[in-house]
Amino acid sequence: MGKNKLALHPLKKREIKDVARKGITYISALLTLLLLTLIFVHIAQGGGSLLSAELLTSDYASLTYTYESSAVSSYYAAPSASDIAFSSAWGVGLKDETSLTGESVVSLVYLAPSSPMGKLSSEVKVGAYFTKAFFQDEAGNNVIALAKDGAKGVIETFEKGKTLTSFSITTKGGGIRASLLSTLLVIAISLLLSLPLGIGSAIYFSYFANKKNPLVRLLEKMIAVTAGIPSIVFGLIGVAVFIPFSSLFTGVNTGSLLSGCFTLVIILLPSIVKSAEEALDEVPKDYRTAALALGSSERQALHKIILPSALPGLLSASVLAAGRIIGESAALVFAIGNVISDTVSLSGKNATLAVEIWSLLAGENPNYRLASAIALIILIVISLLSLAAKILTTVFLKKRGHV
């Protein structure tokens, strides 16, 4: 570098070094922010287009339905959209599209309000994929419209048909209703089981225990060590312990949502205990002394004064625990399974949202769009939860007069 050849005043050299050093810290910080933005933006781009109420409420499986009919053709006005193939005899608009899995499909994009197709079933709706239809033409011959004819070809056949014999459509599928429901169920039950245990332990350590007692310290150490265990190992324990255990309740010998919940309980315990303990330690010791001096017992002081006072902090700990559950994947692959079925029950092996993402990635043809859509949902929920936890802690500390 040229700089070495110039005999710079040593002070100037130091100043240049300082600027470079400071620059590095600015760049580092910027990179960190950039990273966060990149992750969010990329996921939003990848899956945002898929986000809809339909995604959240429909089934994953793509099912084909066939309906018998004897409807006759009539006349229906064409819709204003110009790029769809429209059958004026039946009031149906079709379009060639590519499904999420990359196949070419003929999608039902318009249905006239009084079209006989629409009256067949609620499943015949905009968004469904046309499969096939049997008609009889004016001369009484059978004509068949098949999806592989393409939208235009199908409509041509439609226009020839005078009477409809049968009509088949295939649902879009790719919905995450089941995974969503499974996740919510798992969160609810896991929190129900782990929060009392975790907060109870925290109460013991913060309020009742004598910290100088080596047994107490041993208990604390044991919980602290559990915090460092990778979640996949908890998954193994789920298989070894909780699957047999929960078969007592569910009657099945395989992974189930219930065994997943139990596994999550031991995963969550250390962090719940830690944050609940912090929340309890924030409550001034004077509250307890004052309550006792007024004649109440330790338990009354705890339930009537200390716990209500620590409530925001405890809520914050719960919110964080919920966030952790949503994101847990490795353990649940083992403890529940990764079946993407559309029936949800405690004994089912439904994949939760996070597990579904992993499952989609692990296959041969990863469905990146769906994975990103699910990831987006998770990211949004987690951001909201983190924000909520932060607000709760700030409210909490403000009450103490700390902020």
Partner 1 sequence: MNSVFQVEDFSLSYGEKEVLHHISLSIAEHAVTAFIGPSGCGKSSLLRAFNRLNDLIPNAKESGKILYHDQPIQSTNPLELRSQVGMLFQAPSPFPMSIYENVAYGPRCAGKKRGKELDQLVQESLTEAALWDEVKDRLKKSGLALSGGQQQRLCLARALAMKPKVLLMDEPTSALDPLATEKIEELILALKEHYTIVIVTHNMEQAARISDFTAFLYLGELAEFDTTEKLFKEPSNPKTEAYLSGRFG
Partner 2 sequence: MESTQRVSFKKSEKRTALDRTASFAYLFTAIIAASSLVLIAVFLLVKGLAPFFKTYAENGTTFRINFFSFLFAFHWYSLPSESGIFYLVINTLYVSLLATLIALPLSLYTALFISKIAPKICGTILEFSIELLAAIPSVIYGLFGREVICPAVDSLAQSIGLSSKGGLSTLSSAIVLALMILPILTSLSVNAMNNVPANYLASSLALGASKTETYFKVIIPSSRSGIFAGLTLGLGRALGEATAVSSVIGNAGSGPTFDLFGTSATLTSSMLLGYSEAVGANADIRFSIGLALILLIIAVDFFLGLIQKRMERRYGQE
List contacts with partner 1 (CB under 8 A).
Answer: 10-11, 13-14
Distance CA 300, CA 5 (A): 78
Residue with smaller CB distance to partner 1, 10 or 214: 10
Is there binding between residue 304 and partner 2 (CB under 8 A)? no
Which residues, 169 to 188, sit near partner 2 by CB under 8 A?
Answer: none
Binding partner of residue 46 among partner 2, partner 1, none, CB cut-off 5 to 8 Å per kind: partner 2
Instruction: Kindly indicate which of the ranges 50-58, 173-181, 298-306, 392-400 contains the residues binding partner 2, using the contact rule CB under 8 A.
Output: 298-306
Asked if 314 touches partner 2 (CB under 8 A), the answer is no
- Work out whether 228 is an interface residue with partner 2 (CB under 8 A): yes
Nearer to partner 1, 14 or 303 (CB): 14
> Which own/partner pairs from 283-292 qualify as long-range (CB within 8 Å, at least 24 positions apart)?
283/309, 283/310, 284/400, 288/207
**Is 279 an interacting residue with respect to partner 2 (CB under 8 A)?**
no
**Is residue 192 part of the contact set for partner 2 (CB under 8 A)?**
no
One of 107, 207, 243, 264 touching partner 2 (CB under 8 A):
207
**Taking contact as CB under 8 A, which single stretch among the options 65-73, 118-126, 136-144, 191-199 is the one that binds partner 2?**
191-199
Asked if 84 contacts 93 with a C-beta cutoff of 8 angstroms, the reply is yes
Provide the pairing of β-strand 161-170 with 129-137: antiparallel
Sequence-separated (6 or more) residues with CB below 8 Å from residue 341: 60, 61, 178, 348, 349, 350
How far apart, in whole angstroms, are the C-alpha atoms of residue 356 and residue 50?
Answer: 16
Smallest distance from partner 1 to CB 403, Å: 21
Q: How far is the CB of 188 from partner 2 (least distance, A)?
A: 19
Q: How far is the CB of 174 from partner 2 (least distance, A)?
A: 17
Cβ-defined contacts of 203-206 (< 8 Å, 24+): 203/276, 203/280, 203/302, 203/307, 205/273, 205/277, 206/276, 206/277, 206/280, 206/281
Number of residues that bind partner 2 (CB under 8 A): 99
Contact of residue 21 among partner 1, partner 2, none (CB under 5-8 Å per partner type): partner 2
**15-74 binders of partner 2 (CB under 8 A):** 15, 17-18, 21-22, 24-29, 31-33, 35-36, 38-39, 42-43, 46
* Partner from partner 1, partner 2, none contacting 268, C-beta within 5 to 8 A by type: none
Q: Provide DSSP, 166-224.
A: EEEEE------HHHHHHHHHHHHHHHHHHHHHHHHHHHIIIII--TTSHHHHHHHHHHH
By CB under 8 A, is residue 288 in contact with partner 2?
A: yes
* Calpha distance 259→238 (Å, rounded): 7
The one-letter code for the residue type at 7 is A
Residues paired with residue 169 on neighbouring β-strands, in sequence order: 65, 130
Is residue 391 at the binding interface for partner 2, with CB under 8 A as the rule?
A: no
Give the shortest CB-215-to-partner 2 separation in angstroms. 10
Segment interacting with partner 2 (CB under 8 A) among 144-152, 160-168, 184-192, 263-271:
263-271
Q: Which does 13 bind (CB under 5 to 8 A by kind): partner 2, partner 1, none?
A: partner 1
Is residue 219 part of the contact set for partner 2 (CB under 8 A)? Answer: yes
Which one, 10 or 251, has the nearer CB to partner 1?
10
Helices and strands (H, E) in the chain, number of each type: 15, 7
| Dist CA 178 CA 57 (whole Å) | 8
- Name the token pair of 149: 């004819």
Q: Which helix (H) or strand (E) holds 262?
A: helix 257-282
Contact 128, 83 (CB under 8 A): no
The residue whose two tokens read 């064409």 is 78
**Least distance from C-beta 59 to partner 2, angstroms?**
21
Which residues make beta-bridge pairs with 135?
A: 143, 164
Q: Binding residue for partner 2 (CB under 8 A) from 112, 120, 326, 340?
A: 326
Calpha distance 102→205 (Å, rounded)? 56
* Other Cβ atoms within 10 Å of 153 Cβ, number: 17
User: What is the smallest separation between the CB atom of 17 and partner 1, expressed in angstroms?
Assistant: 10
- Closest to partner 1 by CB, 15 vs 298, is 15
- Judged by CB under 8 A, the stretch of 14-22, 113-121, 183-191, 391-399 that binds partner 2 is 14-22
Query: Which of partner 2, partner 1, none sits in contact with 334, Cβ below 5 to 8 A by type?
Result: partner 2
Q: Which does 10 bind (CB under 5 to 8 A by kind): partner 1, partner 2, none?
A: partner 1
Give the contacts of 140 (CB within 8 A, at least 6 positions apart): none
